[in-house]
Amino acid sequence: MCPSSIELIMAEVNAESCCGVVLAGGQSRRMGEDKALLQFHGEPLVARMLGRLRQAGLAQVFVSGDYPDYPHLIDFPDAAGQVISQGPLAGLLSVAEQLRGQYGFMVVVPVDMPLLPPSTIHQLLEQPAEFPAVAYQDAYFPLRLILDDHLIEHLRCLLDQHEHKLRSLRALLERLPKRWLPLPDPPELLSNVNTPEQWQWALQQALSEE
C-alpha cells in the first residue's frame, strides 16, 4: 500500500540544501535522435538546461543518464530498462535514491524544455520548505521535490501499479502535499519539444526573443 502521509522536514530551501536535476535518457522516438545532444543555437540541449539550473541559483546540478561529458547520475544497472520503459517516475526514483541524504530538495527539469527561463525555476526555490512538492498549475515540470524516504516510497509504490495512468507524475502529485504556482506568461515557456517540427518552432522562438 502506498504511504498515506508525509512527514515534513522544516529545512531551508537554498543553494546548499537543494540541487538541480535534468531528466534525460529517454528514447526520443518522435524526435528520431537523442534530444539531449541536439544543438540549440550552438550548445547541446543538455548543456543549456544545466546552465538554466545554475542561472536560477543552484550550485550543484546533475543530468540523469549516461552523459559522461556532464555531471551525471547513472541509472542503476538493474533498473536501466525500467527507467526507459516506465518514464519519468522511474528516472526520478533512480535520481532520488542516489541523492537522498546529500540534499534536502531537488529541482527537476526535463531536457526538452529549451525556452524555460531561469527566473521560472528560481520561483520554485522561493517557496516555503513545508511543501514536499511545488509545481506550476497543469504543467508538471519544472518541479521541486523533497528528497526523503516518503518520496522514494511513493515512487516505488506507483511504479508497481499495473495501470499506466497510475505510473504518472500526475498520480505522484496527487499523493503529495503541494503548492501550485500560476503558469508563467506566456505559458509556452513550459513547452516540451518532442518532434522535429516542435524543435524548429522552439529555435525560432528563441531567435525572436533575442
Q: Is 112 annotated as a binding residue?
A: yes
Q: Would you state the cell numbers that stand for residue 51, as one nine-digit string? A: 546552465
* Separation between Cα atoms, residue 42 and residue 26, nearest integer Å: 22
Residue 171 is labelled as binding a ligand: no
DSSP string, the chain: -------------STTTEEEEEE-----TTTSS-GGGSEETTEEHHHHHHHHHHHTT-S-EEEESS-TTSSEEPPPGGGHHHHHHTTHHHHHHHHHHHHBTTBSEEEEEETT-TT--HHHHHHHHTS-TT-SEEEETTEEEEEEEE-SHHHHHHHHHHHT-SSGGGSSHHHHHHHS-EEEEPPPSSGGGG----SHHHHHHHHHHHHHH-
* 23 annotated ligand-binding residue: yes
Three-point CA angle 19, 117, 11, nearest 5°: 30
Annotated binding site for GTP: 23-25, 35, 112
Q: Residue ranges for the binding site for Mg(2+)? A: 112
Q: Which residues are annotated as a binding site?
A: 23-25, 35, 112
